[in-house]
Chain A
């Protein structure tokens, strides 16, 4: 497993415009550290089984979609970690937790890419449940990482949208208010 705390600071400073794995790792590590109180480690395995997936679109000069997915069985543990207490959470609460996780990771990526995300608006999280074997989101280009969260895995994909897929939605929340 690779320790994503070895973020390449020089990479971030020398090329602040284009999104990179380092930006995604840094945003995820921040959430793991502050909210999940967990070490952030990258793993090679993919998610298995049914999964809960949240996605947020970013639109502006560039367009991208950030997807965060966890195995359905990990939902309780993720929600436990975020709330600092153990309980049998219902599906709505778990979906909320995954959506909020996606929101924080997307925000962290956006904060680290101020130039690339200039004039960028983002959507509210869309949370879906996918059965085992359902195709993962696919993009022409993407950054995809899977992180170890205890015995569970959290998959994060930052997909870059083609010009034809970009949109301008007045309902998106702007970054300047």
Chain B
């Protein structure tokens, strides 16, 4: 499973990676991006190579290009179609992302169990304790 983590905080990227690796997801390949623009470039590059992402975790609040802007631009370019997304924020955000079964939300701070439950409901796999 190829996962993109977009967050301007390297600490949060490490926390998310740790949570992903503890979740039992198979054959994990994790790619990091420090803002929405880098994330967009990663999505574009990987899809051009035929190795698109299976899951995107993105912070909402980032410099240069924030999470919703990244997702909107990706959608506009026909990228990451149908890819499950987890929006991560410390605030309550009324996101412009359509309420679908492919968009999850994770509010900081969160426990490992909360992160895994969010992933499980999005990916329809059992949460690992």
Interface residues, chain A, CB within 8 Å of chain B?
A: 30-31, 33-35, 79, 82-84, 92-93, 96-97, 99-100, 103-104, 106-108, 110-111, 114, 122, 124, 173, 175-177
Contacts and interface: CB of A to CB of B under 8 A. Distances in A.
B123 to A, nearest CB: 22
Given A83-B18, A122-B61, A100 B12 contact: yes
Given A96-B11, A97-B11, 7 more contacts: A35-B109, A84-B18, A106-B90, A124-B63, A173-B61, A176-B93, A177-B66
Given A31-B109, A82-B15, A124-B63, A175 B9 contact: no
Nearest to B63: A124
A53 B118 CA distance: 32
Interface in B67-100: 68, 89-96
In terms of DSSP, what is the predominant structure of the interface of chain A?
Answer: helix
Contacts of A82: 11, 15
In terms of DSSP, what is the predominant structure of the interface of chain B?
Answer: loop
Contacts of B5: none
Contact of B68 (A83, A100, A177): A177
B60 A108 contact: no
B114 to A, nearest CB: 8
B61 A100 contact: no
Interface string B1-37: 0000000111110110010000000000000000000
B11 A30 contact: no
A122 B91 contact: yes
Given A96-B10, A176-B93, A177-B93, A103 B18 contact: no
B105 to A, nearest CB: 12
B95 A107 contact: no
B70 to A, nearest CB: 12
A107 B106 CA distance: 13
B89 A107 contact: yes
Contacts of B89: 107
A82 to B, nearest CB: 6
